A and B are shown apart, each in its own frame.
Chain A
């Protein structure tokens, strides 16, 4: 399935050629979870990734839906 991904914070710096205005489309196996998506994007657990779709923060074992748009952030405690 295909998933539209936008990366925020310093995560976008780790993907060469990533354009923040366009985001990127990735192809992952059907049934892939949030954890699988992060593994595909090579985003380590230690970077505190939070994946948000339709206004909700997804859990690691939530299944991805074909065609969904997700935003990937690093978690923060406040400002």
Chain B
């Protein structure tokens, strides 16, 4: 257990012990609590006072399945509040195998100065000049980095969007096949990395110094219970390997909650052409892979490899949220175009969701017509080239709305909503409004409660409570490095109990009943809310944009009806 503290101003690296206040934390818990402790809340997110923290989950690097997530945290240049964005791939496990609890990037390199951080198989960290990689897109960059540092390396890096410090800039993460197609997409973490002058993080995968497990036998037993729960869950074990997250297109559209044409309709004309079922057919016909392991230690294999008509790789993995942002929101119903846009975003280093919604807002404002595939590709290319309009687009939907004086901008705290319209799924609206992260589906997605008939998506009753429960649980799972696809199989007392045992077995400490997820999740959310408050965010920032309250969404023709008072009570701990 150790922190690697990297100062980009004077190019020094310090190795520190993990202080007791961070014991038992990893992932989002660690990044959020440390940011709240160490980052001045009113600082410039792109200035030297901000810190960029990379933290694998607390259980990442152990033998537990589906734990390869890494959290990236900082003050966000998009939301102006605290941000945790997490990614899969292989780098989380690589750091876990080296016993590295977090890398904390501080200070700021002089303008134009670019470095990469290399960590070798013994855990030795060094800053290396990276001027030669300036402006490079991520696929070409990773190819060069793997050639230089060896195939047994994991990479997180930025593309041109991060170097331009755009608010939609992502940090891309390599999958198990060494492609930068996983992303810590949300909240402009790539811009913070670019502002620090850090182009890439390269970590050797052959580390053999993971954290000690205090009670290996108890850990093994609890880990086995997790495997059994994931195997028994139809979503994790059956649907995800066959269709991946794209399986959600059909049911969410059928429920009338698939935000389409910049959230002016809840159902997309031609949705059948971009459904998970259609995607799987296309991939199979062309010889791609509908089932693919994208992340280390994954037993779900929700990823896919989308190929063109000649069987040539276009992107991995084509996901529900991207199909929605680049398809539903823009009215583009051609999966080949959507796959190309996904790959472009990965290559330029952009959040596909914020970018797709930015394109949709521009179309809604009359800049181009909905469904214009060529225009969408050109717009994203403009971001890559860094043109004036490209930079506006790359700063996300709110920046585009301001540019065109267009009021219909589906964001909360300037971050785009996800693929569930808050008027058709009220609970998702509660999560968008109240999550300290801004509009974020991973913070507490209520869709499962609707499909399982536990809750009526159009009835206000029970929405706030369900969102609160899920937000607490997800904050805790994000702390562990557990993949969302596996976490959902564990959203019950037995699953929570197994995780509490895993934490106790690793640390050797005993926690009070319900510590996981309630004690831990609440502690994380409290720190995040405190930071946001000190950064100047108010209750008014915990609201949806006006149009969700005023413009009825077809086909149900409902508006968002959860009261401000109820929203204010959701995370009022």
Q: Chain A interface (Cβ within 8 Å of chain B)?
A: 8-10, 12, 20, 46-48, 50, 52, 55-60, 71, 73-79
Let me know if A55 and B556 touch, CB within 8 A: yes
Let me know if B248 and A79 touch, CB within 8 A: yes
Whole-angstrom distance from the CB of B141 to the nearest CB of chain A? 28
Let me know if A10 and B453 touch, CB within 8 A: no
In whole angstroms, how far apart are the Cα atoms of A75 and B248 in the complex?
9
Q: List the A side residues contacting B457 at CB < 8 Å.
A: 57
Q: Does B234 interact with chain A (Cβ within 8 Å)?
A: yes
Let me know if A78 and B445 touch, CB within 8 A: yes
Supposing A9-B247, A55-B256 touch, asked if A78 and B234 sit within 8 A by C-beta, the answer is: no
In whole angstroms, how far apart are the Cα atoms of A9 and B247 in the complex?
6
Whole-angstrom distance from the CB of A33 to the nearest CB of chain B? 13
In whole angstroms, how far apart are the Cα atoms of A12 and B488 in the complex?
23
Q: Please provide the chain B residues from 219 to 261 with a CB less than 8 Å away from any CB of chain A in the complex.
A: 234-235, 238-239, 242-248, 250-251, 254-256
Q: List the B side residues contacting A73 at CB < 8 Å.
A: 250-251, 254, 451
Interface SS of chain A: helix, strand, loop or mixed? Answer: loop
Supposing A74-B239, A76-B251, A79-B320 touch, asked if A57 and B451 sit within 8 A by C-beta, the answer is: yes
Whole-angstrom distance from the CB of A69 to the nearest CB of chain B? 10
In whole angstroms, how far apart are the Cα atoms of A26 and B482 in the complex?
42
Whole-angstrom distance from the CB of A46 to the nearest CB of chain B? 6
In whole angstroms, how far apart are the Cα atoms of A10 and B441 in the complex?
24
In whole angstroms, how far apart are the Cα atoms of A33 and B251 in the complex?
20
Q: Please provide the chain B residues from 439 to 464 with a CB less than 8 Å away from any CB of chain A in the complex.
A: 441-442, 445, 447-448, 450-453, 457
Q: Does B484 interact with chain A (Cβ within 8 Å)?
A: yes
Q: List the A side residues contacting B242 at CB < 8 Å.
A: 9-10
Q: Does B555 interact with chain A (Cβ within 8 Å)?
A: yes
Supposing A9-B239, A79-B246 touch, asked if A52 and B251 sit within 8 A by C-beta, the answer is: yes
Q: Please provide the chain B residues from 192 to 223 with a CB less than 8 Å away from any CB of chain A in the complex.
A: none
In whole angstroms, how far apart are the Cα atoms of A50 and B239 in the complex?
13
Chain B, residue nearest A34 (CB): B453
Partner of A75, one of B246, B276, B452, B556: B452
Q: List the A side residues contacting B239 at CB < 8 Å.
A: 9-10, 74, 76
Let me know if A57 and B453 touch, CB within 8 A: yes
Q: Does B42 interact with chain A (Cβ within 8 Å)?
A: no
In whole angstroms, how far apart are the Cα atoms of A17 and B245 in the complex?
25
Whole-angstrom distance from the CB of B124 to the nearest CB of chain A? 39
Partner of B441, one of A71, A75, A78: A78
Q: Please provide the chain B residues from 307 to 348 with a CB less than 8 Å away from any CB of chain A in the complex.
A: 319-321
In whole angstroms, how far apart are the Cα atoms of A73 and B320 in the complex?
16
Chain B, residue nearest A46 (CB): B234
Let me know if B255 and A52 touch, CB within 8 A: yes
In whole angstroms, how far apart are the Cα atoms of A50 and B256 in the complex?
15
Q: List the B side residues contacting A9 at CB < 8 Å.
A: 238-239, 242-243, 247, 250, 276-277
In whole angstroms, how far apart are the Cα atoms of A55 and B267 in the complex?
10
Q: Does B365 interact with chain A (Cβ within 8 Å)?
A: no
Supposing A55-B555, A79-B245 touch, asked if A10 and B254 sit within 8 A by C-beta, the answer is: no
Q: Does B491 interact with chain A (Cβ within 8 Å)?
A: yes
Chain A, residue nearest B250 (CB): A8
Let me know if A76 and B250 touch, CB within 8 A: no
Let me know if B247 and A76 touch, CB within 8 A: yes
Partner of A76, one of B248, B319, B556: B248
In whole angstroms, how far apart are the Cα atoms of A9 and B277 in the complex?
7
Let me know if B321 and A79 touch, CB within 8 A: yes
Let me know if B250 and A71 touch, CB within 8 A: yes
Let me know if A20 and B255 touch, CB within 8 A: no
Q: List the B side residues contacting A48 at CB < 8 Å.
A: 234-235, 451-452
Chain A, residue nearest B554 (CB): A55
Supposing A50-B451, A74-B238 touch, asked if A8 and B247 sit within 8 A by C-beta, the answer is: yes
Let me know if B453 and A50 touch, CB within 8 A: yes
Q: List the A side residues contacting B256 at CB < 8 Å.
A: 55
Partner of B254, one of A47, A60, A71: A71
Let me know if B234 and A50 touch, CB within 8 A: no
In whole angstroms, how far apart are the Cα atoms of A46 and B320 in the complex?
24
Let me know if A78 and B453 touch, CB within 8 A: no
Let me know if B277 and A75 touch, CB within 8 A: no
Whole-angstrom distance from the CB of B463 to the nearest CB of chain A? 15
Chain A, residue nearest B428 (CB): A78
Let me know if B235 and A76 touch, CB within 8 A: yes
Let me know if B484 and A78 touch, CB within 8 A: yes
Whole-angstrom distance from the CB of B320 to the nearest CB of chain A? 4
16 residue pairs bridging A and B, Cβ less than 8 Å apart? A47-B234, A48-B451, A52-B254, A55-B254, A57-B453, A57-B457, A74-B234, A74-B238, A76-B247, A76-B248, A77-B445, A78-B248, A79-B246, A79-B248, A79-B320, A79-B321
In whole angstroms, how far apart are the Cα atoms of A20 and B238 in the complex?
18
Whole-angstrom distance from the CB of A51 to the nearest CB of chain B? 9
